[in-house]
Amino acid sequence: MATQLGKAASPGHLSGESRRRYIDIMKTPTGRSLQPAAIIALSALVLAAATGVAFSAWMEKGAAIFMTYAQAGLAWCF
């Protein structure tokens, strides 16, 4: 809908049942809008935990892994 003088478009041209359905359709349910944010936050937490575990393992066993690759001649591929 076109707006005039900066006013937002409204369903003023609708009447009765049509106006009620328009307003019901334009409402955003809050339960659905929070679910993606929770999934993203949980995914970020799991990714951070996995990264922390991998980094910790690398700090503890990294030298042994590198020496194993060096003995096999694969150190330059690593």
Per-residue pLDDT at 57 exceeds 80: yes
Element (H, E) at 10: none
Per-residue pLDDT at 55 exceeds 90: yes
Q: Which residue matches tokens 């694969």?
A: 74
The reported pLDDT for the residue numbered 12 is 65
pTM: 0.46
* Separation of alpha carbons 39 and 44, rounded Å: 9
Domain ranges of the chain: 13-77
* Separation of alpha carbons 60 and 52, rounded Å: 12
The reported pLDDT for the residue numbered 46 is 97
* Separation of alpha carbons 6 and 27, rounded Å: 22
Q: pLDDT grade, residue 35 (50/70/90)?
A: confident
